[in-house]
Copies of this chain bind each other. A is one copy, B any other.
Amino acid sequence: MNAACSVSPLGLRERKKLRTRRAIRDAAYRLFAEQGFDATTVDRIAAAANVSTSTFFRYFPTKEELVLSEDPPARSLSEELAARPADEPPLTALRNALHAGVERARSDPGALRRARQRMELIASVPSIRDRLHEAMAGPGRAALARALATRTGRAPDSLETNVLVGAVLGAFREALLHWAGTEPDTDVTDLFDRTVDALARDLTT
């Protein structure tokens, strides 16, 4: 009892839920790789994960969200951004935050490879790709807006700040989709640097 409790602060119930969530995700990604996203029914995923179809929808609101809900970049990005000195201009802070984020991701060696595979899936399924812009922001969008607003002196909910958030998300959506079409060992840092450079150099009056 005590031994089990000290190992994990979560009760059996919570641990089971995490296991189920993971089982569904793993089964889904395996089947997507084998037969493609559209050809894989939710019933089939649920069966492969040994749960009922009802349970699938209790864990994921839609089949697309199973792919999109994982790791919305805006959350971690806004945290890294908030950690940068306040006097860095927006694009410099963004570049440094991205470097820090990639660096942190390298601590888990499989993380980049999994992210890359996920992006390949997203890029190859139109219905998911279309919703990537919104999904990238996710619930972390407000935090991203605040992080950018502190560097521009605008209000976090102003048109100007929202425009900035939209532009940054739109830019990195392209960067990520581009990544999915490159050699698997392409360095993400280079890609992000080129993206920030493009925003800084080519978006001029």
Contacts and interface: CB of A to CB of B under 8 A. Distances in A.
A204 B92 CA distance: 8
Interface string A145-158: 00010001010000
A163 B199 contact: yes
A178 to B, nearest CB: 5
B90 A194 contact: no
Contacts of A171: 163-164, 166-167, 170
Interface string A2-37: 000000000000000000000000000000000000
Interface stretch (A77-85, A117-125, A128-136): A128-136
A202 B152 contact: yes
A205 interface: yes
Nearest to A95: B205
Interface string A187-201: 000010011111111
A89 B89 CA distance: 22
Interface residues of A, number: 45
Contact of A134 (B129, B168, B196): B129
A76 interface: no
Contacts of A159: 174-175, 178, 191, 194-195, 198
A162 interface: yes
Interface string A57-101: 000000000000000000000000000000001111000000000
B166 A170 contact: yes
Nearest to A178: B159
13 contacts: A89-B205, A91-B204, A130-B133, A131-B131, A133-B133, A152-B202, A159-B191, A163-B174, A163-B198, A163-B199, A164-B171, A164-B203, A199-B203
Interface of A: 89-92, 129-131, 133-135, 148, 152, 154, 159-175, 177-178, 191, 194-205
